[in-house]
Amino acid sequence: MTKFDEATQAIRVDDTTYDVCLDPGYSVGGMLNGGYLMAVILRAVVDASPHAHPVSTTAQFHRSPTPGPARVQVETLKSGRTAAFSRATLIQNDTPYIETLITTATLPETSAAAYTSTPMALMPPLSECVRLPDPKPESGMTLNAQMEMHFDPPTVGWLQGTPTGVPEARAYFRLSEPQDPDPYILALAVDALPPVVFSAGTRGWAPTVDLTWHLRALPAPGWLTVLGSGRLITDGWFDEEVEVWDSQGKLVAQSRQLARVGRG
């Protein structure tokens, strides 16, 4: 079992209850990453579903849970031949932290697209991309060690004080420990980029209010390409869209989150 699989496992207690253990190794600024937390919840939901894949996930982030034991409460709302609908809640110390609605279905191992668009942006070759400096231990950025991300250089210009002025972030992505991508890793990938508003010139903690992502196909082995952008920053709110493409040029995930602009 890989470190990621272990950190996201959900142990069935009964038909609607799963025990989980939130791993301190997936934190950003001392807060557990939303993508990691979605992966944990999805393990429970998929286990409780007759279907194999989480094709749609919406998560409302009410509070930030702490590393350690927690519980996922799963309610199957409707179960059909094509799809099943579930509600799941991440609970710690009897308090709900994350509320989700999830649609599961069973996708084919090999998908055949009737129509596909092109990526929202072209990436330079991996060899021309850059890694971020290792975070200081006191920064609480433990997530960085779990992932290997190589960034399209202009989209991390904000680190040197030269943001592009446009909300964007783009990177090649894989886990540090060798593991083929799967839907749970995609849950991590859609929330793994630095907030796209950093590139537009803002800084500081940018909390996700809610995030919806769709699994569109099962990813092929190899690097993922994670493309992030935003359409509007207004009145303290911004949207972040992420597309994930696999190594065979397939669109495998799409997300949009609504988040608050940091005051840092």
Torsion from C-alpha of 154, 160, 161, 167, nearest 10 degrees: 30
Q: Are 219 and 243 in contact (CB under 8 A)?
A: no
Question: What are 108's two structure tokens?
Answer: 């084919």
The whole-angstrom separation of Cα 101 and Cα 50 is 16
Q: Which of 1, 117, 125, 178 binds its own copies (CB under 8 A)?
A: 117
Q: Which of 81, 82, 94, 161 binds its own copies (CB under 8 A)?
A: 82
Rounded alpha-carbon distances, angstroms, from residue 223 to 7, 12, 86: 21, 32, 30
Does 121 help bind its own copies (rule: CB under 8 A)?
no
The whole-angstrom separation of Cα 102 and Cα 100 is 6
Q: Cβ 261 to its own copies, closest distance in Å?
A: 8
Q: Identify which of residues 7 and 227 has a Cβ nearer to its own copies in the complex.
A: 227
Identity of residue 264:
G
Each residue 38-57 as x (binds its own copies by CB under 8 A) or -, in order, gives -----------------xx-
Q: In 170-204, which positions are buried (b, 16+ CB within 10 angstroms) versus exposed (e)?
A: bbbbbbeeeeebbbbbbbbbbbbbbbbbbbbebee
Does 62 help bind its own copies (rule: CB under 8 A)?
yes
Question: 253: part of which helix (H) or strand (E)?
Answer: strand 251-260
Part in contact with its own copies (CB under 8 A); list of ranges 83-91, 149-157, 176-184, 186-194:
83-91
Part in contact with its own copies (CB under 8 A); list of ranges 3-11, 41-49, 179-187, 204-212:
204-212
Does 167 help bind its own copies (rule: CB under 8 A)?
yes
Does 200 help bind its own copies (rule: CB under 8 A)?
yes
Does 107 help bind its own copies (rule: CB under 8 A)?
yes
Binding residues for its own copies, rule: CB under 8 A, are: 55-56, 58, 60, 62-63, 77-78, 82-83, 85, 87, 96, 99-101, 103, 105, 107-108, 111-117, 165-167, 200, 202, 209-210, 212, 214, 216-217, 229-239, 243, 251, 254, 256, 258, 260-261
